[in-house]
Every structure is written in structure tokens, then in C-alpha cells.
Amino acid sequence: MNKWPAVKTESVSWERTEEDLFLIPKSRRRKITATYEAAIPATLQNQQLILSPELAERLADARARLARFDEKQATLPYNLPSLFLRSESAASSQIENLTSSARNIALAELSPSAPKNAQIIAGNIDAMRCALGLTGPLSIPRIQDIHRQLLKHADEPFAGTLRSEQVWVGGTPYSPHGALFVPPHADRVIDCLNDLCAFTQRDDLDPIAKAAITHAQFETVHPFIDGNGRTGRTLLHYLLREDEVLRRATIPLSAGLLHDIDNYMEALRLYQQGMPEPIIEQLIDAIDLAIVVSQRTSERARALLEDWESAMHERVTAKIRRLPALLVEQPVVDSAFVAQRLGITRRAAMDLINRACEYGILRPIGNAKRGEFYQAPAMLDMLDEISSMAGIRRMLGIAR
């Protein structure tokens, strides 16, 4: 039997002036008392994790399949991880009820005129890139860097700043009384995060199990005012990369979690009650689904690029031959982006874009004027499909 510690609680004073209370509806005011109960997360760095033989076997199998998929990425002529980075960011945002089209998200990376939701999700892509670019031990400053990238498009003053106030999940906006979960008091956040960072350095644990527990503990600590869920899911990718479970690939883990949000949230709740197995199982399930989605998407991306290549009547050394691989990374472009990435002039880039439009690879967004943006519809359609649960179900043939 696994003896994992449950979250404890402490009574914390809740002070509000008479003027503050007067603004709160009377029905709510009666439930606000002088104290509330806040979580005290257990320390992890020395906890023993005992897994059943069945769960240990599932973890070993997941590691082996991830390693095989990872090896295949080195042989691809295009950057498939960039494609999955986009779908992962979109799916992670959907868990927080943030949605936007793949086109608008890609546009947000090039233009501040993109819709606000798209800009916020583009911040999730930046956070993923930041996390996957880090090497070395996890630290509080690195967590703050990821959070800062996540919210840089949201213009939030608390981006990258650990909270100095109480937050809570569920209940009412007036006080933590009656909330579904109340994370630790702000004074405990730094110690909790230092313990969490120390836990990630342990080498006596299965790396997937360690990543799952790190994620659940991060959500329990809730160190930021907002953006904790997306930051915590980004940390999953950092840990799998840092422990060399995935050296090259990125897989859409959040798509797997999105498949059954209720079970995912329930697993987090059970973790806080001293049961780590459900969140580990949730991550394994997410990996199982993400690998299948990734393999099928890789096949479709390869077929799409082959179609584009066969449509182009250009010499082998022509610059336009490099465009399809670029569109895997950035499916919305303008002449400045193409010029910078391919090392050509803006005029040459515009000529290349016009030829790609003739081949049916690109299509203008709005009126086709110089300096405007162009989309790769087929690539965006594929991204939209692997970034939503409905699309993934269609791809995999899963009944509703």
C-alpha cells in the first residue's frame, strides 16, 4: 500500500473591512468567517513512492514506446515537434476554456492584431519553447521564466511573479470560504517550490511517475495568481526532456488529458488526498493517446509535404523547395518572415509566396496585398484537428 502523505490544512485569518463586507451580497456575507482553511502540501523530496507491479509495467512500456517514437524524429526532413508544440499549447489552453483557431494562433506570433485569445494561446507556445530550451535543474527562477513567457501577450502585471495573496479554486469570488480547494498561504509558496524543485532532481523514481507527481504538486501549490494549469502542464514537457525520456520529440500530452477532463481533475483531487496513482495513470493514458495521435499526424504531414513537392515545378535547388518544411513550423507567414528564415530579400520572398499561391500551397488572408499574411490551409486544417478533442476523435475513430 502506498503511504503517500495527504495535504493537511491550517486555519488562516481572513480580514475584511466593514466597507468591503458591505459590498458583498448579504447571502454570501453570512458565510464569511474570521478564518478559513488553507492547504499545507506535504514535502516531497524524501517521500518513498511504492508502485504496484502493474503500474510499474505500464510505466516501463510507456518509456519504451516514447523512446521508439523519439528516435524516428531524427530521420524526418521537417520539424514535427514544432507542429505538436502548437497542438499541445492549444489543447492545454482548451482545458482552461481558452480557444482559438490554428490560423489565428499562428497569426498571433507575427501580428499584434490577432484576436486576444489567440495571443494568449501563442503565449503558451512561447512558454513551451522556453521550457524545452532550458537545461539543468528546475529552479524557481526557471518556473518564473516559463510563466512570464506564458502571459507575455496577456499584459498581466503578475506575469512571472509568485503570488503574494491567497487564491482559491471554485466557490465564490468574494472569499475562500466554501471553495473547492484552497492552496497554501502565500508565505508558504517559496518553501513549497524549493521542495518541489529538489524532488525533481531525484533519480530513484520512474521519470514519468516523477513528472506526474511534480505536476500534481505544482497544481496543489498554485504559486501564481493565474496560469498555474498551463504552466504545470508545460513543466511535464520540461521534465520528460530533462530526464531524457523525450530528447527530440514533443507530443500533445494535453490532448490526452483533454480526452477526459473530469478524470484528470479527479486525479488531482485524489493526489491531494494521498493517492498519487491516479495522476500517474492519467499521464500514462495521455501518453498512450498522444503517441497514436503523433504517429498518425506524422503520416499525414509527410503525405501533405509530398503533395506539395509534387505540385511544384521548380529546380531542386530553388528556395521555394524549402518552404514546405518552414510551413510545418509556421503555417501563417508574411514576406518578412519568409525573407528572414530563407535568407532572401523581401521582394524575392514575395515572389516565392506568389508562386506558392499558384501551386495551392498558400492562400492570402484577406486581400492579397504586399505585406499581408498568407496561410497554408491544409496544414492549418490538420492543426485544428489535432488540437481539439472532437478532431482527435474523428482522427482516431473514437465513438462519442
Q: Are 131 and 214 in contact (CB under 8 A)?
A: no
What is the helix (H) or strand (E) element at residue 398, kind and residue range? Answer: none
Cell 482559438 belongs to 100
> Is the pLDDT assigned to residue 74 strictly greater than 80?
no
**pLDDT, position 82:** 76
Selected from 1.10.3290.10, 2.30.31.70, 3.40.190.10, 1.10.340.70, the CATH number assigned to the domain covering 8-294 reads 1.10.3290.10
The candidate with the shortest Cα–Cα distance to 9, out of 34, 43, 40, is: 40
> Is the pLDDT assigned to residue 1 strictly greater than 70?
no
Cell 494521498 belongs to 274
> Is the pLDDT assigned to residue 398 strictly greater than 60?
no
> Is the pLDDT assigned to residue 58 strictly greater than 70?
yes
pLDDT tens per residue across span 249-264: 788 888 888 778 899 9
> Is the pLDDT assigned to residue 206 strictly greater than 80?
yes
Level-2 CATH architecture, domain 301-396: Orthogonal Bundle (1.10)
The candidate with the shortest Cα–Cα distance to 373, out of 120, 86, 105, 154, is: 105
**pLDDT, position 87:** 82
Indicate the pLDDT class of residue 370, thresholds 50, 70 and 90: very low
Cell 524557481 belongs to 140
pLDDT top residue among 14 and 22: 14
CA distance 278 to 271: 7
**pLDDT, position 400:** 46
> Is the pLDDT assigned to residue 349 strictly greater than 70?
yes
What are the residue boundaries of the structural domains of the chain, listed by start? 8-294, 301-396
Q: Are 66 and 84 in contact (CB under 8 A)?
A: no
Percentage, residues of the chain above pLDDT 90: 60
The candidate with the shortest Cα–Cα distance to 121, out of 138, 104, 136, 134, is: 104
Cβ neighbors of 332 (< 8 A, separation 6 or more) are 103, 106, 107, 109, 110, 365, 373, 374, 375, 376, 380
**pLDDT, position 380:** 93
Q: DSSP letters along 214-280, please?
A: HHHHHHHH--SSS-HHHHHHHHHHHHHHHTTSSSS----HHHHHHTTHHHHHHHHHHHHTT--HHHH
Answer yes or no: same fold for 8-294 and 301-396.
no
Percentage, residues of the chain above pLDDT 70: 94
**pLDDT, position 258:** 79
**pLDDT, position 367:** 55
Per the confidence metrics, is the pTM higher than 0.85?
Answer: yes
Indicate the pLDDT class of residue 399, thresholds 50, 70 and 90: very low
CA distance 145 to 231: 10
> Is the pLDDT assigned to residue 289 strictly greater than 80?
yes
Provide mean pLDDT across the span 178-206: 97
